[in-house]
């Protein structure tokens, strides 16, 4: 019988801690990417504060 080589055959076993660390890092990166996408640029915030202060006087 001919057996096909799979990816698992060519890679060493990975520990549960290594898998958990990789998942943690991937989740952290997703959160950072989302925060960056939702970030308001400082110039926009500064402009809003200036407008608000002028109208308060």
Q: What is the DSSP string of 4-18?
A: ---HHHHS----HHH
Summarize pLDDT for 27-49 with one digit per residue, the tens: 999 999 999 999 877 777 666 66
More confident residue, 2 or 34: 34
**H or E element in which residue 29 lies:** helix 16-38
Give the chain's mean pLDDT: 78
**CA 25 – CA 30 distance, rounded (Å):** 9
Indicate whether this model's pTM tops 0.85: no
């Amino acid at each position: 019988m001919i057996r096909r080589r799979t990816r698992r055959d060519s890679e060493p076993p990975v520990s549960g801690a290594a898998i958990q660390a990789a998942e943690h890092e991937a989740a952290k990166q997703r959160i950072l990417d989302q925060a960056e996408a939702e970030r308001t640029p400082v110039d926009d915030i500064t402009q809003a504060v200036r407008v608000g202060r002028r109208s308060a006087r």
